[in-house]
Amino acid sequence: MLRDIFKPGFLRRLECLKIDVKRVHLAARKGGYESVNKKGTSVEFADYQAYNPGDDFRYIDWNLYGRLNKLLVKTFKEEVELSVHILLDVSLSMLYPESDKKYEYAKKIALALAYIGLSSHNSVRVAAINSPSTETTGRSILQTQFFQKLNGIFRIKSFLDEIEPGGEADLQWFLSRYTYENRGKGGSAIIISDFMVPPTLYKRGIGILRFKNYDIKIIQVLGAGELNPFKNIRSGEILDVETQERKIINVTNSLKKRYHALLNEHNQELRDYCRANNMAYTLARTDMEIEDLILKELPKIGFIR
């Protein structure tokens, strides 16, 4: 049950929110987003546009033509549907450090955003960012169908509960495959991941979404244990949980400084990349209350409204 995860008051507040969009491929179904068209299918007048060959003569304002000697076409507002693609990293790194509970936190974000989308009459799908080696069904990627009604949130929750993270996050392969399987179904793509991969790899993957004209939003999930892993540790063995590579380290002050410098550099490159490409970005720390992230932080950056 959702009430086992979120407080009733929090759910009611989610129902009043919408996922904001900067550029978007909108579907034909009726929904909660305004689109300007020349077909006059809505009763709400929007504006005038200059007549272009092929425009419908019925929407020319002949009174204005008499006064201005210009052919102007009436445009109208109509409500159309937004397709929301929530793409959740299910690689093994999302389970570590165990104390950070990154994957559980990321699941809550995905569920809350799906609830917002469905409450706004959007078409919502959740997909698991995996790699070719983690296929567990006959399909190439793990994803839900598109849901339009609020009761679809229970199917989405079941989908998320059944996933067991594993393997690496191959963003380039996944996003290439995902856009191929969802061709013609653009919209807002929300990527939830720790982004602990080389920048060249996530840039190639996200570049595919940019080419397909998705409205892209990035949520980087990190925990205190990842941001400061050497607290009260002098030496030990570290393990790359995705590649199984092991190394013995001595934790010196210079090593700590080097780690923090590299992590800050890595995260800053992701922030700069998002800013340069007009993509909303936020760092979601797992020690922040999920209510504060959704209701306070995301509206600040134009992620939701």
Q: How large is the angle between the packed helices 171-181 and 199-211, nearest 10 degrees? A: 10
CA 146 to each of CA 164, 190, 191, 195: distance values in angstroms, whole numbers, following the listed order: 21, 15, 17, 25
- Give residue-wise pLDDT tens across range 235-290: 667 667 667 788 787 788 888 899 899 999 999 999 999 999 999 999 999 999 99
Distant-in-sequence, close-in-space partners of 83: CB < 8 Å, separation ≥ 6: 25, 26, 27, 122, 123, 124, 125, 146, 185, 186, 187, 188
* Max Cα–Cα distance, the chain, nearest Å: 85
Cα 78 → chain centroid? 25
Residues of the chain with pLDDT under 70: 23-46, 54, 76-81, 132-140, 184, 232, 234-236, 238-239, 241-242
Beta strands in 63-176 (DSSP E): 72-89, 123-129, 142-143
Pair 187, 24: CB distance under 8 Å: yes
Q: Which pLDDT does position 114 carry in this prediction?
A: 98
Alpha-helix runs per DSSP H in 92-165: 102-119, 152-162
Domains of the chain: 2-28+82-300 (3.40.50.410), 33-79 (no CATH)
Distant-in-sequence, close-in-space partners of 122: CB < 8 Å, separation ≥ 6: 19, 31, 32, 81, 82, 83, 84, 148
